[in-house]
Amino acid sequence: MELTLLQEKFAQGVAVEGLDQHAAYVAAGYSANMLPSTIDEAASRLAADSKVKARIIELKAALTTELVANHAWNISELLTEYQINALGARKDKQWAASNGALTGYGKASGLVVEKLTVAVEPSNLASLNPEEIRTMIEQRERMLSLMEAGATVDTEMEAGTTVDTEPVVEGEVIDRAQEP
């Protein structure tokens, strides 16, 4: 599959740089003296071209593979650093630092999850001001994102309950100040 230099620049702009079609078209060098609507139409046609479309898919797949590999390496390195820090702090009898490193290790490895509780009585909604409603929505969104990430989330509803994001291991809140 042979692309012209401009087609390749366009595909790189869309797939690698994350540009929208219009911006990628301009960045590739196509748009000398064109109206914005004309650029949009031409960029759309170019993106629909089978060779260009295949190249964009190929570049995105390669980028995804690279990101996954880098993420795995970064997690591994992070876990190693947490282990070194925990052991060094323990050796120096710096219990809070050791516990902090262990908590970080637990979160990074998935052994420690955040427990999040968000609650409001539906009958109380009318008495909330816009800022309280906005806060409640943000709390719900945080709860949903934690659930999507696999965190254990307490969804019981109790009036007046606010967000609790303490780390939890097997249902117990970690006391970071407690010595081992």
Domain that holds residue 139: 116-164
Is 9 a domain residue? yes
pLDDT of the residue at 178: 46
Is 125 a domain residue? yes
Is 149 a domain residue? yes
Is 126 a domain residue? yes
Is 28 a domain residue? yes
Is 180 a domain residue? no
pLDDT of the residue at 10: 93
As given in the structure block, the two tokens for residue 101 are 């490193």
What's the structural domain count of the chain?
2
Q: How far apart are CA 173 and CA 91, in angstroms?
A: 25
Residues with Cβ within 8 Å of residue 21, at least 6 apart in sequence? 14, 40, 43, 44, 46, 47
pLDDT of the residue at 170: 42
Is 18 a domain residue? yes
φ/ψ (deg, to 5) at 3: -110, 155
DSSP secondary structure of 76-115: HHHHHHHHHHHHHHHHTT-HHHHHHHHHHHHHHHTSSEE-
The residues that bridge with 116 in the sheet, in sequence order, are: 153
Residue pair 63/11 in contact (Cβ under 8 Å)? The answer is no
Contacts 24+ apart (CB under 8 A), 99-106: 99/174, 99/176, 99/177, 99/178, 99/180, 100/176, 103/167, 103/174, 103/176, 105/79, 106/167, 106/169
pLDDT of the residue at 39: 93
pLDDT digits (tens, 9 = 90+) for 118-169: 555 555 666 777 777 777 777 777 777 776 666 655 555 444 444 444 444 4
SS3 119: coil
- What does the pLDDT profile of the chain (180 residues) look like in tens digits? 699 999 999 999 998 888 999 999 999 999 778 999 999 999 999 999 999 999 999 888 888 777 777 666 677 777 788 888 888 888 998 888 888 888 887 777 776 666 655 555 555 666 777 777 777 777 777 777 776 666 655 555 444 444 444 444 444 444 444 444
pLDDT of the residue at 73: 66
